[in-house]
């Protein structure tokens, strides 16, 4: 299985998502959403070409996976609204960002690359 790497942008996104979930929905929701993200990471490390993974048309080599596709019955948040932006090779799965599905993903990634 691939090693998981989270870039600084992804770590900041995860921290903000968890804080928002706790503030708005409570500690239980924060825990469930965190568990959903971890499940998605494990799924993608095992198979980054799994069903539901999409290639970002505007950014070759970047892949997208919506968290709703990692849900399980009864335990996961019903309204998962985030998309994992990632790359991978034979040894590593790299999470670049975790973005809300209402965001323009191409713009977010392009802006980040322009700033860095």
pLDDT tens, residue by residue, 96-113:
999 999 988 888 887 766
Check residue 74 and give left, alpha or beta (phi > 0: left; psi -120 to 50: alpha). Answer: left
CATH number for position 39: 3.30.2310.20
Contact 46, 23 (CB under 8 A): no
Q: Which domain holds residue 49?
A: 3-115
Q: Domain total for the chain?
A: 1
- What's phi and psi for 104, nearest 5 deg? -80, 105
pTM of this prediction exceeds 0.85? yes
**Looking at residue 111, what is its pLDDT?**
72
| CA angle, residues 2, 70, 40, in degrees to nearest 5 | 30
**Looking at residue 49, what is its pLDDT?**
97
Higher pLDDT, 16 or 115: 16
Instruction: Find, among 105, 102, 99, 95, the residue nearest to 59 by Cα.
Output: 105
Over the stretch 37-95, which tens digit does the pLDDT of each residue have?
Answer: 999 999 999 999 999 999 988 888 999 999 999 987 666 677 899 999 999 999 999 99
pLDDT at 114 over 80: no
Instruction: Find, among 114, 115, 112, 106, the residue nearest to 11 by Cα.
Output: 112
DSSP-derived 3-state class of residue 19: helix
């Amino acid at each position: 299985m691939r090693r998981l790497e989270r870039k600084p942008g992804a770590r900041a996104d995860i921290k903000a998502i968890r804080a928002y979930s706790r503030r708005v929905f409570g500690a239980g929701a924060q825990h469930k959403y965190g568990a959903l993200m971890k499940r998605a990471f494990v799924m993608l490390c095992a198979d980054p070409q799994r069903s539901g993974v999409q290639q970002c048309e505007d950014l070759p080599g970047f892949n997208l996976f919506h968290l709703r596709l990692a849900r399980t019955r009864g335990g996961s948040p019903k309204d998962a609204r985030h998309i994992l932006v990632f790359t991978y090779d034979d040894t590593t799965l790299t999470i670049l960002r975790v973005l809300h599905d209402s965001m323009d993903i191409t713009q977010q990634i392009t802006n980040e690359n322009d700033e860095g």
